[in-house]
A and B are shown apart, each in its own frame.
Chain A
């Protein structure tokens, strides 16, 4: 037995193995309770047709009290989707990963939310301050204080 964080993550993992992931989401790697990788794909008609992205979750010992650090994996042939809320370094500006995080959310719930964030995108473009942000961005996106626009 271990901390609350790993017990809860173990439970989420059991559920993923038992019930499977929602359509378009696949568990790539969950070797420990620190970093998980998912592949994410938008089904149906969308700007991101036939594109597959890798989502990385990093958990600290305070999960689920503290939110996971979620970003798209960039490098080794992987790219971040072009989206007004996704920076080219993979960081995501989404309120549920910051101020609106709640322990009632789960890893799969976050995946589904991000999937629908991509699905609802009308125009593929980078955030306006992408270059400036990427130049100074910290390694962990949770250190960034994003300003959330409610334009969704």
Chain B
């Protein structure tokens, strides 16, 4: 009479029935190719294929409503234990991500309250105010004072058009309505095109005859002595030219590079979809997403060597969270039984991944659902961009000063602030003092100013300390750094997803008589 205190495990079952796919496996029967791992993750009699269970958990976790039940056994309610390669850095990042997401929804709530409160009275004032703040952050206080000044009554009419548009264009830019990566692009294009219109203070200054005389000399010959003459005035490029040609070029190069790095790290191409509103769903799974994975599958299939299961998950609870694709490789010894079947599975996996990525876990059809917190996060992110640019630019400045790098200094074209001593001359061809000149001289001055305005820059832009330029560079570096962190996060998540295992428990909590055990299992003596 064999008595034992050892509880039976999944390996002692005569018949295993996966509660998810309902496939059975008889003990001792020829195993499937490849053999599929079984798991008994809870305290009741339910057992499942590990892959089926992981698929279910992933799918449930991707949906906000179902996430609380994702790790719960539907019969006994015990929580499944997942084991995976989940380093502290990833957990920290997840926490950070969640907090930012929370901040995003808070932003939406408070933002909506503000908008609602202000809407009747002065959305316009708020947006203009924001625009002014953004411009000041981006081009620096000094340039701002020169261009616009503290007193809004002195602003040129174009400022009242450009400034309120700014927050909108920043947001649209971030939400992907336009196809740019570089978020400050709108500032670059809108601001300089308004041409540095000087405020009244500057105008008055230059109307004084002794100053006016200096315009004529200043424009044609040398620059004022106060300005640091070490850097040539043709560097940096004018914001307008840079916005028109430089930004698109750099963006294009950067995207190419990013895609390559992404492919190296993640083993697939980055998701193509940048547009929030565009629905790009390819039911055949041949779309940009996962297309590479599928290709790989077909090839592997032909060789009969291995099979990739493409799995993806969402990070963050919004539909527009980060997507992760994981390639899980299973070694296959023989040819898979049926090519069509494998292909079908692959297509299912890809379709599932698509759906997961779209945040519509179950629907066949398309649905546009937008998560408030994700949108809030994006909008808030877009609106703090100028502050980030200013901060990054400052950091660059301080770094340059600390290291005394001549090269950096030249590149960033750092000059001493103009301060109160030097006032840039107005770019106003109708300046009254021009009448003291001969006609020919007037034309020469005019042509030179226009040429400078286009190719170098207008005098104000060229001769002030180009805060905007180092802020641009700084923001660019910031974006690159952000993308690096993002990629690192994706990579960690992918590794976590690939290493997932469900902890298998024994049947100690179940009455043994309920189980269909192998005859070889030592039983307790019956009553």
Chain A residues at the B interface, C-beta cutoff of 8 Å: 1-5, 7-8, 11-12, 60-62, 64-67, 98-105, 138-140, 142-143, 145
Contact = CB atoms under 8 A, between A and B. Distances in A.
Contact of B348 (A3, A8, A64): A3
B310 to A, nearest CB: 14
A138 B345 CA distance: 29
Contact of B344 (A2, A11, A65, A104): A2
A140 B363 contact: yes
Contacts of B345: 3-4
Contacts of B204: none
Interface string B47-73: 000001001100100000110010000
B65 A66 contact: no
A60 to B, nearest CB: 5
Contacts of B516: none
A2 B341 contact: yes
Among A7, A67, A102: residue with most chain B CB under 10 A: A102
Interface string B338-354: 10110011011001100
A138 B364 CA distance: 13
B126 interface: no
Contact of A12 (B22, B46, B65, B351): B22
A140 B364 contact: yes
Interface size class of B (residues with CB under 8 A): 20 to 34
A104 B362 contact: no
B351 A61 contact: yes
B367 interface: yes
A105 B355 CA distance: 22
Contact of B20 (A1, A65, A145): A65
15 contacts: A1-B338, A1-B340, A3-B348, A8-B21, A61-B347, A62-B348, A62-B355, A65-B20, A66-B361, A99-B65, A103-B52, A104-B46, A104-B75, A139-B365, A143-B365
Contacts of A66: 59, 361-362
A60 B364 contact: yes
B397 to A, nearest CB: 50
B172 to A, nearest CB: 27
A64 B21 contact: yes
A18 B338 CA distance: 28
A104 B345 CA distance: 21
Among A1, A8, A66, A104: residue with most chain B CB under 10 A: A66
Contacts of B52: 4, 103
A139 B352 CA distance: 21
Given A1-B337, A105-B74, 5 more contacts: A62-B355, A100-B69, A103-B56, A104-B20, A142-B362
B455 interface: no
A104 B351 CA distance: 22
A145 B348 contact: no
B511 interface: no
B23 interface: yes
Contacts of A138: 365, 367
Contacts of B69: 99-100, 102
A78 B50 CA distance: 43
- Provide the main secondary structure of the chain A interface: loop
Given A60-B364, A140-B364, A7 B21 contact: yes
Contact of A64 (B20, B347, B351): B20
A62 B22 contact: no
The list of the 7 closest CB pairs from A to B, nearest first, reads: A102-B74, A66-B362, A99-B65, A103-B20, A104-B74, A3-B344, A60-B364
Interface string B457-471: 000000000000000
A62 B52 CA distance: 11
A112 to B, nearest CB: 15
B399 interface: no
A105 B20 CA distance: 9
Contacts of B348: 3-5, 61-62
Contacts of B361: 66
A107 B474 CA distance: 59
Contacts of A4: 21, 52, 345, 348
Contacts of A8: 21-22
Contacts of A65: 20, 55-56, 59, 352
B411 interface: no
Contacts of B363: 60, 140, 142-143
Interface in B356-370: 361-365, 367
Contacts of A100: 69
A64 B348 CA distance: 12
B19 interface: yes
Contacts of B362: 60, 62, 66-67, 142
Contacts of B46: 104
Nearest to A9: B22
Contact of A103 (B19, B338, B340, B364): B19
Nearest to B365: A140
A85 B361 CA distance: 23
A122 to B, nearest CB: 28
Contacts of A104: 19-20, 46, 74-75
A61 to B, nearest CB: 5
B202 to A, nearest CB: 58
A61 B285 CA distance: 13
A49 B351 CA distance: 43
A8 B75 CA distance: 20
A30 B337 CA distance: 27
Interface in B257-280: none
Nearest to B338: A1
A120 to B, nearest CB: 21
